[in-house]
Copies of this chain bind each other. A is one copy, B any other.
Amino acid sequence: MRSRRLAILAEGKFGVLTSKTAACIIRYQPGRVACVIDSTRAGLDAEGVLGFGGAIPVVASINEALKFSPDSLLIGIAPRGGVLPEAWRGVVLAAIENRLDILSGLHTMLGEDAEISRAARERHVAIWDIRKPTLPDGVSRGLLKHRRGRVILTVGSDCSSGKMTVAYELVEFMKARGVKAAFVPTGQTGMLLAGWGQAVDRVPGDFMARVVEDLTVEALAGSDVAVVEGQGSLVHPAYSGVTLAILHGCWPDVMILCHQPTRTEIEDFDIAIPPLQCLVRMYELACEPLFPSRVVAVGLNTYDLDEARAREAVARAERETGLPADDPVRWGSTRIYESLEGML
């Protein structure tokens, strides 16, 4: 994985939140990115669009992308529902024609598409359907109840609230301080960054908790601390099942609540995001009958606030929850790490 040189398809969507996968890889592993394809922003560079990522070029088409010598095409955005838009079929086929491997996080399995898989076979290129689950041989067995090592889970007020980022930043921070910590990816972006994991949102319901159990057990085999990337939110009508399965699958010692302060509603559902202290209580209550766990810190995503407003948002979150709050992307993971020191 890490050696690949990616052309990332983010057509019409390249941006911090609108192309989460593209933005995260550019933030954490920019050396792997040859270019981004988005005809609506062609001519700009990553820095100009995202505010980070330097001179990585944005180009208008797959043909222009080829000039930057990618060896793989990554479908870097996930349309609602995860289906392949028909307009992208030509892009994927052109990439295959030019011997690029295909990495896709769509729900549509490109490897099962007759035309695309035939083309891939003819050109000897690989298709990695990142979301394709590997099914376990049974359901969760609660193995983590009696474990060696600590488990931390990031949970959220909504989708795209920073759960993957806070988890990834925290692991990097701990590793730099000599803590044997492992990042446990449960979604496609985390999997692309870490080179392992499973997209739990694609796993059949009965097996979700088990898949998370297996990933966490694997992480703890070589580490003292597993930091599990949460998904969705307990208050998101479409994704709450995935959220709870991850929570009950990894039996966290503690949780970190992630939130974007400018967000007040669950997108598309006209549902108000509850106050942070309510969310803290909901996540703790959801664990209580199974295992004791508490929220120990709040991770904020303040990318769309200026410095002063970001500091205000942190102070407000601390007031509301009585917990340390911070934006690790903006100011580093020190405060969040300190909230864990009693348990490490």
Alpha-carbon distance between A163 and B210 when the two chains are bound, in angstroms:
23
Alpha-carbon distance between A285 and B141 when the two chains are bound, in angstroms:
27
> A342 near B: Cβ within 8 Å?
no
Residue from B242, B268, B290 in contact with A141 in the complex, judged by beta carbons closer than 8 Å: B268
State whether A202 touches B202 (Cβ < 8 A): no
Range class of the A interface residue count = 35 or more
> A308 near B: Cβ within 8 Å?
no
Which residues of A134-170 have CB atoms within 8 Å of chain B's CB atoms?
A: 135-142, 145
| Nearest-CB residue, chain B, relative to A139 | B238
CB distance from A262 to the nearest CB of B (A): 19
Chain B proximity mask over A122-143: 1 for CB below 8 Å, otherwise 0: 0000000000010111111110
| Nearest-CB residue, chain B, relative to A278 | B289
State whether B208 touches A237 (Cβ < 8 A): no
Contacts of A142 in B (CB 8 A): 237-238, 268-271
State whether A203 touches B204 (Cβ < 8 A): yes
Q: Which residues of A line the B interface, CB within 8 A? A: 80-83, 107, 133, 135-142, 145, 200-210, 234-246, 248-249, 251, 268-274, 278, 282, 285-286, 289-290
State whether B83 touches A138 (Cβ < 8 A): yes
Contacts of A246 in B (CB 8 A): 241
Q: A201-B205, A243-B244 are in contact. List 20 more A-B contacts (CB 8 A).
A: A82-B206, A107-B204, A142-B238, A142-B269, A142-B271, A201-B206, A203-B204, A203-B205, A204-B204, A204-B205, A205-B242, A205-B245, A234-B244, A235-B289, A237-B248, A237-B249, A237-B251, A240-B244, A282-B285, A286-B286
Contacts of A83 in B (CB 8 A): 137-138
